[in-house]
Amino acid sequence: MVIIAHPDDAEFGCAGTVTKWAQAGRKVTYVVLTSGDKGGHDPDLRPGRLAALREEEQRAAAKELGVEEVIFLRYPDGLLENTLELRRQLAHIIRLHRPHIVMTIDPWRHYQLHPDHRAAGQAALDAIYAAREWYLFPEQLVGDTEPWRVREVYLFWTDNADHWEDISAWIERRILALARHASQVGLDMDKLSERIRQQSRQVGAQAGYEYAEAFKHFKF
């Protein structure tokens, strides 16, 4: 499960690893907390239409990567907070989907200026804790629903990486998925490709790979 603030966060942060794991047979679910309705500069494109467009782009990108399901919670872009209600929703989603691994944004990254990124990462981690406890949000534990313990967490956009995933064989797929977010990255594929290759090459050099993505990795 990948829990992110906006459409395109996963494609910028961990898409090479997502498609690598999906092709290895793992089921991947995206949980996107906002629809990115503030992520535009065209005054003729209203926020409602922009949100719909960015959801379409995210679904197309997810399909490119082999992601099985995309869940949108549709919180307001730019105003995301780690509220008790958001934590409750995420804990319920985790209990229903039972992911062994959760990937999210590192909320402790130094000088992480985007409040949505900080809130998304913290809410995801708080929900992971809540989902495993019998007496937190017990109203969710009806029928076959039980507490669920996530086994591993991978935080991307981190200053404290201790795990690198080799994505050399999947760099093209990552670029193609990111290109689906045309409202954010434009239509110049050559420029986009060079940007992503350069970034992934720099990360890969830290671990001896041609291209890589870096994470802070936890096991529970």
Q: What is the pLDDT of residue 12?
A: 96
Residue 106 in 3-state DSSP? coil
Q: Residues 175-197: what's their mean pLDDT?
A: 93
Euclidean distance between CA atoms 102 and 158, whole angstroms: 15
Which residues is 69 bridged to in the sheet? Answer: 29
Sheet with 69-75, side-by-side order of all strands: 69-75, 29-34, 2-4, 101-105, 152-156, 212-219, 163-166
Question: Exposed/middle/buried for 101, CB within 10 Å: 0-12, 13-18, 19+?
Answer: middle
Residue 163 has pLDDT above 90, yes or no: yes
Confidence band (pLDDT; 50, 70, 90) for 43?
low
Q: Residues 189-202: what's their mean pLDDT?
A: 95
Residue 41 has pLDDT above 70, yes or no: no
In the chain, the amino acid numbered 102 is V
Q: What is the pLDDT of residue 48?
A: 74
Q: Residues 74-103: what's their mean pLDDT?
A: 97
Residue 47 has pLDDT above 70, yes or no: no
151 within 8 A of 101, measured Cβ to Cβ? yes
Residue 62 has pLDDT above 70, yes or no: yes
Residues 6+ positions from 17 with CB-CB distance below 8 Å: 103, 154, 165, 167, 213, 215
Residue 100 has pLDDT above 90, yes or no: yes
Q: What is the pLDDT of residue 39?
A: 74
Q: Residues 130-147: what's their mean pLDDT?
A: 96
